[in-house]
Structure 1
Amino acid sequence: MIPIQPIWQNPGIFQINREPARSHYVPFAGATQAKRGRRGESPFYQTLNGSWKFQYRESVTLVKEAFYEEGFDAGAWDDLIVPSCWQTNGYDQMHYTNVNYPFPVDPPHVPDRNPAGLYIRDFNIAAGWEGKSKYAVFEGVNSCFYLWVNGSFVGYSQGSRVPAEFDLSPYLRSGKNRMAVLVLKWCDGSYLEDQDLWRYSGIFRDVYLLARDQKHVRDAEVRQKLSEGLDRAEAEIVLDVTGALDVRAELFDADGQVVGTGNVTLNGGKGSILLEVEQPRLWSAESPYLYQLYLYAGEEVLRFPVGFRRIEITDGVFRVNGAAVKLKGVNRHDSHPVLGQTVSLNHMIADLLLMKRHNVNAIRASHYPNDPRFLELCDHYGFYVVDEADLESHGMGNAGPWESGILHRLTADPAWLGAYLDRAERMVERDKNRACVVMWSLGNESGYGINHIAMAEWIKQRDPSRPVHYESAAPGYKGHPNIDCLDVESRMYATVDYIEEYARNADNKKPMFLCEYSHAMGNGPGDLKDYWDVIYRYPKLMGGCVWEWCDHGIAATTADGRPYYAYGGDFGDMPHDGNFCVDGLVSPDRKPHAGLLELKQVIAPVRFEAEDLAAGLIRVTNGYDFRDLSHVSLYWKVEEEGELLAQGSIQELNVGPQTDAIITLPYAQTPETEGELVLTLSCRLREETDWAEPGYELAFGQFRIAATNVAASSDVPVVRKKMSAMETNGQLVIEGFDFEYAFDLSSGTFVSISKNGVPLLAEPARFAIWRAPTDNDMHIRKKWQEEGYDRAETKVYLCEWNQPSPERAEIRVSYALAGYSKPPVLRGTAEWTVYGDGEIRLGTDVEVREELPYLPRFGLRWAMPENSDEVEYFGYGPHESYVDKRQSVKLGRYLLTVNDMYVPYIMPQEHGSRYGTEWAIVSNEQGIGLRFASSEPFSFNASHFTPEDLTIATHEPELSPRKETIVHLDYRMSGVGSNSCGPELAEKYRLGEKRFRFDLSILPVFKED
């Protein structure tokens, strides 16, 4: 083996010769260059990104040759693009695990079979770099690495997601040079990097060289202070220089005007420049105003965006610039479906633009500092960021009984103190100048003890301007009782009742932050409105971050070339947590799920309430913290079952921040109608922004208006045609003027329906209670299956019929639904009535066995023949909705196809239902089909897959669409919730009734007649 010490298993050694951490910047040769901010234009910057020679070894013990020596021949090695992850390039094992360590838990030891990546890069040094100090910066290497230059050992570093900088001046020469890097998959630091993610390895972030003046600004910190009235700002620029140096500072506003200058002469060490700004423009996520600070020192110009803002907690309320602010956030990993944890700048921008368009204002950098350029973008676009240390040891808790306190073993061990502090220091020093960072986090799910306390105390001493957050000190963990060093109470997946109880308790002095809530896995989350109704109500509740932003599926193809997204276990990885990595608001290719649309509406900055609908009075609440509504316009329309009756707009809303006002809409002149009207309000951008176009909808509201001409409605007598009913071979055959139906008396259901000879039923109709489990059903699913819900069949006890008149036939069925080995889930009676015009009416009374868990659904399953692909309905749309996931849909009349109703969740599951449907028509493209309606709104779904198809499939390519259309007409569908990780589904969203009645009307139609 090569002569290196196995310090990767010593928690007391986490670096050799690494430079002290500093703020993130690149030096430029002039102010014009610095203003553009394109680092590649700087003569003092040289990228080492690109093609490296690479060889993968299954274990570091197999690295025998001194590959770092100058004369080593690596010509036969592979070529690998840096930055990248080994695993996404075919090396090593793709592996997803959430909590469990993927190696034996024996800290600080890691397996002897420790995969290694050997990297070699030849590069030239520009002629202009003679006499300069030269540094190499590695923005991210997972998990630890050794560095050599021109055959000489330079240093070692661990801590995967924070920069490592080395002084290469003693090792570099003019012209051609060689850099060699040995990266190990595991080190003792891996015990502190047990985050819920794919386990990637390699040089996965940027690598570059910097040429610095011999005497230069090593670090710069902008310490800001705002006056009590926020009308005066001080910026103290604290400098750390390497020698005698004159430094000049200039501060520009966004218009390019100088608002402050200063200079200082230093003889090494630290000093400062104080700048003052009168009437400063303040930075917030809503108005991310940035000044630009330029530091001139020797040949170098450094630029730092400066956002003046004050973060504080007063009276238990989290405030920005004096205003109580709600963090409407998401948790975000660095994630790409092809590149893994290597994320390009454009990909970061795409994420942020999508968040901005969906009213997200906060990001928790879960669970490590994100790429430094990401925070620059957050400054620019406007996001509040919870910057989190690269620290999670969740797997310790699963290594033994939690009651033993093993979860806290590392954080309670002084031998690991240095490693803990190192991760806090490197995060804070890198990101201290970022306006977007509003809280520091000590990491995630790592127990709690003296090492965390030391981290918190160091951070508070180093940067008292921001609160410190850490969730795992919450009650319920067997942690250290000292939590005074933490500034917020943080919870994961607390119930709505819990957070309200916390807010109402006057003894609770800290604001509560839901660092994770509303687990967005699969078809979900279904509880967003409930949380935000309470969060808006109590100032002490500062908001939270949905888990999480994106599905972490890996782009893959089947053997026959069909694309899909893979998840844990698909690569033979063990241990794994299956599709638990597929739990985001957007798909891996960043297509929004309905859950993101739901979040957008629930946290929208403009909300509407009906004040007096008859008079057109609407209360508008401005949820912005710092801006009025002059940048938006309000459009309104009144419809009757999809037909536009009136419309208008208000081009400017005069509503101040955190206030409300009543506006009058002139729809009183709407013509009198017999039906109910629907008023829709749409709040849209007036002008283009850097994240959305003019007319983009930020929020909407809808209200039902009672009919204005009730007296005009009259009961027109329905003239029913005559029909015949005859029992033949166990079937009741009913014939009318243009229809023929067959009802099987033994199975108690219709087996044939046709109108004008066109069949409209592909298989016998039946009652159904099973839905393909959603990811959020993962815990209740077992109970459902234990009781036979998934295999429930119909048992008919009694079926009798009569024809009381020539225009009507009646059928009465007594039935039960039960699965093998279990008593009936429910018993019911169904009354079917067939009229001479072809209408079928169903009324069924149901009794569910008392001790059973709530039902997934109850309704009628109706299979329609091939080509029944057109769907028209009046209800909520255009996308799927459920009883607890329906804030983002609008009541209206929709025309779409069955394929349009399909939602391609990575793990197939229940999808596409429409809550609150009033009527629906499923037909062929010529309009021949069935119209379904009920006296009360019902849940409706049309699909080319049965619930059984979706239940069995584990990946989308396993699904084969049926030619038939499977229609579900449900009395009720239980909500979707967020119980894959969050609390149980709220009782009000469960189909938990033990007795209920459902009625339905089914009528053959030719829509074009």
Structure 2
Amino acid sequence: MIDIPKLWENLEVMHLNREAARAAYVPYADAEAANSGKRGRSPFYRTLNGNWAFRYFSSVYDVKEPFYETEADVESWDRLLVPSCWQANGYDQMQYTNINYPIPCDPPFVPEENPAGAYVREFHVPESWNGKATHIVFEGVNSCFYLWANGQFVGYSQGSRVPSEFDLSPFVKPGANKLAVLVLKWCDGTYIEDQDCWRYTGIFRDVYLLARDEKRIRDIELKQELNKDFTNAILQAAIETTGGALQIKLELKNAEGQVVAAGEGSIEGSDTIRLEIANPLLWNAEKPYLYRLEVHAGQEVLSFQIGFRRIEIEDGVFRINGAAVKLKGVNRHDSHPVLGQTIPINHMIKDLNLMKRHNINTIRTSHYPNDPRFLDLCDEYGFYVIDEADLECHGISSAEHWKPEAFHRLSTNEAWREAFVDRAVRMVERDKNHACIVMWSMGNESGYGENHIAMQEWTRRRDPSRPVHYEGAAHVYKGDPNTESLDVNSRMYASVEEVQQYGADPANKKPLFLCEYSHAMGNGPGDLKEYWDAFYAYPNLMGGCVWEWNDHGAFTHTAEGTPFYAYGGDFGDKPNDGNFCIDGLVTPDRKPHVGLLELKQVIAPVAIEEEDQQQGLYKITNLYDFIDLSGVALYWKIEDYTGRIVRQGQIAELAIQPQQSGIIQINAGAIYDEAAILTFSVRQKEETVWAEAGYELSFYQFEYGGVQPNAALRPQLSAIRAQEIEDVLILEGENFRHIFDLRKGTLKGMSKQGIEMLTAPASFAIWRAPTDNDRNVKAQWISEGYDRAGMKVYSTAWSQPEVSIVEVKVNFSLSGYQLYPILKGEAVWRFDASGAAELSVSVNVREELMFLPRFGLRLEMAETTDEIEYAGYGPHESYVDKRRSARKGVYLTTVEDMFENYIFPQENGSRYGTDWMVSSNRLGMGLRFEKMSRAFSFNASQYTPEELTEKSHSHLLRKSGKTIVHVDYKMSGVGSNSCGPELLQQYRLDEKSFTFDIHIIPVFKEDE
């Protein structure tokens, strides 16, 4: 190995020669360039992004040649783009693990086979930089690195997601220079960077040079004071200089570029310049007004966005600018399907646009500080940010087989204290001037102990203007939890009941923040509404952040060239946590899942309730915290049961103040005798950076009275011919022929005008392809035989009570091998001379069994039966607990379009609350299903539940060559139990006795 100090296992050394942490800024030569935010417009900035000579070593001990020397020849080396991640470029092992360490757990030691990457490049120092200090900034390197310039050792740093800055002045000269970096995959810091994500390595964020004046600002903290009624603000610029006395001038400009305050002074060391602003415009997520502070110091101009706001907790209520605010958030990792943790700025903007479009106002930077440009964007777009320290040591628990004390092993070990505190210091110092940051987080899932308390106490001393949160304090093993240094109580995946109990208990003096809730893995989440009912009900519940924003699928190809999104284990990585990284509200390429649409509706900024339907009176509530409703318009329409609009209108002016309500009246006309639906659409009036004018923020629906008629008109009934031949009952009429298998107790054939509608006998079904949120109940379902339930027929009898009616009664059970029957029931089939069938099933479920996935009728139809028309909730999938984003109407779609393509195959595409449905070919020939006593759920798919259960990736699915139709009495909800609480009781199919009935009618739609 080359001659370098072995620092990567030394807890006493986290850096050598690294500059002290400071606020993020770049110096410019003039205000215009500084205010542009474009770093390349500064003559004092030089990017070092680009191609570097690169060589990968499977072990640091294999690095034997001093590649950093000036004369070292690297021409034959590979070229690697900086910034980038090794694994995204074919180097080293792709690996996804959540809890488990990827290395043996022996802190602070890491394996001897510690992969290393050597980087070399030449760079140019301009002559114009003569007399200035040359600094280099690495914004993110995972996990530690050594630095050389022109063959001389410069320094060492670790801590992957915060900057490392070095003074290169003693080592470089004007003109050509040579830079070398050695990055190691693992160091002692790996033990506290055990986040739930792909484990990427390398120089993954920007690298650049800065030329600094000898006398310069080293750091600046921009502190605010707002008087009680917000009519006056004081901006205190606490400035630290180096190199001697420096004349500094400040100008604060409003968004229109007008100077609203100015000040100056000579500073040597540390001092403060104060600016006073009368009647400041305040910053918040809904109206993110920003001032611009220009700082002139010598030849340098620094520029900062300033958002005036005050954050406080009063009587257990979280407030911004005096208003009680609910945090409607998501957890967001740095994740790109191709680039890994190297995130282009346009990708950041895409995320923020999507979040704005879906009513999200908060981001938790799980579980480390993000790129500083991301925070600039959050200031501008208007987001509340919980900035989280790069700290997680979850793997300690796993290594000790989940002994209660294990989780706290590192957080209570004094030898790790400096490493813990360093994570807080570098985050706070870098990000302290951002308006968007409303709370500091001391990391994630790292136990709790003295080391965290030291972090918290330092943070509160350094920045008393923001609350400090850390969820791990809820899991203290022994002794006094000592949470005095925490301003909020935090929980992960607390149940709705627990949240309600906290809110109702007057002993709770701190607000409660759910830093993670509603695990959005696969088909889910299904419990959002209940959480938000609780959040709104109690002032001390400040909201939370859904886990999580996006699926972390890694884009790759099979050996045959088929593209797909990979998850843990797909690259032979061990250990791995499988598809647990596929748990987002959007796909890896940022296509919204239905779960995101559900969240958008549940946290919508405008709520509408029925006040008096007869008079057309409706209550509108403004759930914004700071803006009135003058920026939105309300559109409404009334549709009959066929989807025909019978009346519509709009209300353009809604001057309802924040957190207030008002009554509107619509001209609904007469109340309809037949069923009708009133739909309100809340749309923004003007274009914003994230959405066009007319964009819908939310919608609400109300049903008018009346009975919905069946759309299929019954002809005059005549006689039906019934004939039993060898346990087969043949039923014939004027234009139909049905076949009932009396021995198997089911409908075997159903035809109209010679067109056979079924390709296999109908059957009762209780199994669904388990969703990700079923992962904890799946084993119980299988242990009770739900996945292999077959029908036993005890008796079948048929009769013809009238010439136009034939009735078949079947007594049956469903059970799996080895086990007692799951349920027993009686099915009564009634066929009339029009060809219609009426099925009524009475069911009794074995008392001790857990809830069923579903119960209903499964039919197989021809593959060409691929057109679906229905009246119910749509246009996307909906479930009993995941339907708020679906609106009731009449929809025409296809079987293919009903498929929701989750990366990990599972139950998908069901439609809740259906009144009628037709599954037909493109000529309209098929079966019509109509509700009788209650609406039903249905699903139509090209894939069988067995195929969806068996396959591990969506690209492996094979179509059945049929259309599989499920018509369900009920489908259990989807919940969020992949990591969250169990499915709520009211959303389980756990009735021990129930009746299901449905009409089934062969139709030619165009003749109806």
Q: TM-score under structure 2 normalisation?
A: 0.99
Name the SS of the counterpart of 2:308 in structure 1: coil
Structure-1 residue corresponding to 2:527: 527
Q: 1:68-107 CA distances to partner (integer Å, 9 max, x unpaired)? A: 0000000110000000000010011000000010111111
Distance in 2, matches of 1:338 and 1:686, equals 37
Q: How does 1:887-966 map to 2 (within 5 A)?
A: 887-935=884-932, 936-966=934-964
1:245 alignment partner in structure 2: 246
| Aligned counterpart in structure 2 of residue 865 of structure 1, from 862, 876, 893 | 862
The match for 2:430 is 430
Aligned counterparts of 2:711 and 2:923: Cα–Cα separation in 1: 32
- Does the residue aligned with 2:251 lie in a helix, a strand or coil? strand
2:688 equivalent in structure 1: 689
Residues 614, 705 of structure 1: 8 Å contact kept: no
Q: CA deviation at 1:414?
A: 1.3
> Closer, same or farther in 2 for the Cα pair 1:980/1:478, shift >3 Å?
farther
Quote the offset at 1:558 in angstroms.
Answer: 1.9
CA–CA separation in structure 1 for the residues paired with 2:35 and 2:293: 10
Provide, for residues 159-188 of structure 1, a one-character-per-residue CA deviation record: whole Å limited to 9, x for no partner. 000000000011111111111000000000
C-alpha deviation, 1:849, in angstroms? 0.5
Aligned to 1:307: 307
Hey, what does 2:499 align to over in structure 1? Answer: 499
Q: Is the 8 A contact 2:863 2:942 kept in 1?
A: no
Counterpart CA distance in 1 for 2:477 and 2:912 is: 39
2:988 to 977, 987, 990: 990
Q: Which amino acid aligns with 1:700?
A: F
Contact 2:232 2:279 in 1 (8 A): yes
Question: 1:479 deviation in Å?
Answer: 7.0
The residue aligned with 2:112 is 112
SS of equivalent residue, structure 2 residue 453: helix
Cross-structure match for 1:848:
845
1:700 Cα deviation after fit: 0.7
Structure 2 SS opposite 1:92: coil
Q: Which residue does 1:631 correspond to in 2? A: 631
Match of 2:717 in 1: 720
Deviation at 1:127, TM superposition (A): 2.1
Measure how far apart 1:802 and its partner are: 1.1
- Per the TM alignment, residue 415 of structure 1 is displaced from its structure 2 partner at its CA by 1.1
3-state SS of paired residue (1:639) = strand
CA distance in 2, matches of 1:394, 1:958: 33
Measured in 1, the distance between the counterparts of 2:535 and 2:478 equals 28
Partner letter of residue 959 of structure 1? L
Report the AA paired with residue 252 of structure 2.
Answer: L
CA contact (8 A) 1:674 1:713 kept: no
Cα contact 1:867–1:963 (8 A) shared by 2: no
Q: How has the CA–CA distance of structure 1 residues 916 and 172 changed in structure 2, closer, same or farther, with 3 Å as cutoff?
A: same
Counterpart among 995, 998, 1001 of residue 1000 in structure 1: 998
* Aligned residue in 1 for 2:370: 370
The amino acid of 2:839's aligned partner reads L
Equivalent position of 1:973 in the other structure: 971
Q: Corresponding residue for 2:89?
A: 89
Query: Using the alignment, how far apart are the partners of 1:674 and 1:230 within structure 2?
Result: 55
Q: Structure 2 CA distance, aligned partners of 1:714 and 1:5?
A: 82
Where in structure 2 are the equivalents of 1:213-292 lying within 5 Å?
213-242=213-242, 243-267=244-268, 269-292=269-292
- Whether the aligned pair in 2 keeps the contact of 1:96 and 1:199 (CA below 8 Å) is yes
Q: What's the offset of the Cα at 1:614?
A: 1.3
Deviation at 1:963, TM superposition (A): 2.3
Q: Check whether the contact 1:473–1:479 (CA below 8 A) recurs between aligned residues.
A: no
| Mapped pair 1:512 → 2:532 | no
8 Å contact kept, 2:58–2:116: yes
State the secondary structure of the residue aligned to 2:245: strand
Q: CA deviation at 1:680?
A: 0.2
Percentage of identical aligned residues: 60
Assess if the C-alpha contact under 8 Å between 1:829 and 1:844 holds in 2. Answer: yes
Distance 1:843 1:314 in 2: 59
CA displacement, residues 483-526 of structure 1 (integer Å, 9 cap, x when unaligned): 11100000000000101101111111000000000000000000
Closer/same/farther in 2, CA of residues 742 and 675 from structure 1, 3 Å limit? same
The alpha-carbon deviation at position 716 of structure 1 amounts to 10
Alignment map for 1:612-627 (pairs within 5 Å): 612-627=612-627
- The CA distance in 1 between the partners of 2:265 and 2:717, in whole Å, is 97
CA contact (8 A) 2:292 2:306 kept: yes
Q: Is the 8 A contact 2:672 2:704 kept in 1?
A: no
Residues in 1 aligned to 2:898 and 2:616: alpha-carbon distance in whole angstroms: 35
Deviations 1:276-322 (A, max 9, x none): 00000000000100000000111111000000000000000000000
**How far apart, in 2, do the equivalents of 1:893 and 1:477 lie?**
56
Output the CA distance in 1 between the equivalents of 2:416 and 2:528: 39
Q: Give, in angstroms, the shift of residue 960 of structure 1.
A: 1.2
Query: In structure 2, what is the equivalent of residue 380 of structure 1?
Result: 380
Q: Where do 5+ consecutive residues of structure 1 fail to align?
A: none
Residue 813 of structure 1 corresponds to: 810
- SS of the aligned residue for 1:630 comes to helix
Question: Hey, what does 1:660 align to over in structure 2?
Answer: 661
**Secondary structure at the residue paired with 2:760?**
coil
Whole-angstrom distance in 2 between the partners of 1:658 and 1:397: 44
Distance in 2 separating the partners of 1:565 and 1:125 = 43
Write the letter of the residue equivalent to 2:259: V
- Whole-angstrom CA distance in 1 between matches of 2:703 and 2:672: 13
- Rounded Cα–Cα distance in structure 2 between residues aligned with 1:864 and 1:476: 57
Alpha-carbon separation, structure 2, partners of 1:918 and 1:559: 46
Name the amino acid aligned to 1:647.
Q
| TM-superposed deviation, 1:866 | 2.2
Q: Secondary structure at the match of 2:935?
A: strand
In 2, distance between residues paired with 1:435 and 1:56? 41
1:403: how far off? 3.6
Q: Distance in 2 between matches of 1:715 and 1:635?
A: 32
Q: Give the number of equivalent residue pairs.
A: 1004
Give 2:450's aligned amino acid.
Answer: I
Query: d(CA) in 1 for partners of 2:530 and 2:682?
Result: 23
- Which of 783, 788, 798 aligns to 2:785? It is 788
Opposite residue 982 of structure 1, the aligned amino acid is G
Give the whole-Å Cα distance in 1 for the aligned partners of 2:407 and 2:807: 66
- Deviations 1:803-835 (Å, cap 9, x if unpaired)? 122211110000111111111110000000110
1:673 CA displacement = 3.7
The answer (yes or no) to whether the contact 1:512–1:541 under 8 Å persists in 2 is yes
Contact 2:288–2:307 (Cα < 8 Å) also in 1 = yes
Check conservation: 2:447, 2:476, Cα contact below 8 A: no
Q: How many angstroms apart in 2 are the aligned matches of 1:128 and 1:902? A: 62
1:169 and 1:567 mapped to 2: Cα distance?
Answer: 45
Task: Find the counterpart in structure 2 of residue 44 from structure 1.
Answer: 44
Task: Name 1:876's counterpart in structure 2.
Answer: 873
Write the distance in 1 (CA, Å) between the matches of 2:476 and 2:152: 51
Q: Cα offset for 1:339?
A: 0.4
Which whole-Å deviations, capped at 9, do the CAs of 1:560-608 have from their partners, x for residues lacking one?
2221110000000001100000000000000000000000000000001
Q: Work out whether residues 404 and 477 of structure 2, in 8 Å CA contact, stay in contact via their aligned partners in 1.
A: no
Aligned to 1:570: 570
- What displacement does 1:556 show? 1.3
Alpha-carbon distance change, 404 to 535 in structure 1, aligned in 2, over 3 angstroms: closer
CA distance in 2 between counterparts of 1:673 and 1:406 reads 66
CA contact (8 A) 1:532 1:602 kept: yes
Work out whether 1:774 is the aligned partner of 2:752.
Answer: no
The alignment partner of 1:1008 has SS state of helix
Deviation of 1:332 after TM superposition, in Å, equals 0.4
Query: Structure 2: how far apart are the matches of 1:450 and 1:558?
Result: 48
> Match of 1:833?
830
Paired AA for residue 285 in structure 2: A
The whole-number CA distance in structure 1 between the counterparts of 2:543 and 2:911 is 29
CA contact (8 A) 2:408 2:477 kept: no
**Which residue of structure 2 lines up, in the alignment, with residue 733 of structure 1?**
730
Deviations 1:342-390 (A, max 9, x none): 0000000000000000000000000000111000000000000000000
2:8 equivalent in structure 1 = 8
SS of equivalent to 1:458? helix
Does the 8 Å contact 1:448/1:480 carry over to 2?
Answer: no
TM-aligned CA deviation for residue 208 of structure 1 = 0.4
For 2:762 and 2:149, the matched residues in 1 are separated by 75
Separation in structure 2 between the aligned mates of residue 691 and residue 72 of structure 1, nearest angstrom? 50
Q: Deviations over 1:905-950 (max 9, x none)?
A: 0000000000101100010001111100122111111000110010
- Give the superposed CA RMSD: 1.4
Q: Provide the C-alpha distance between the structure 2 equivalents of 1:475 and 1:82, rounded to a whole number of angstroms.
A: 40
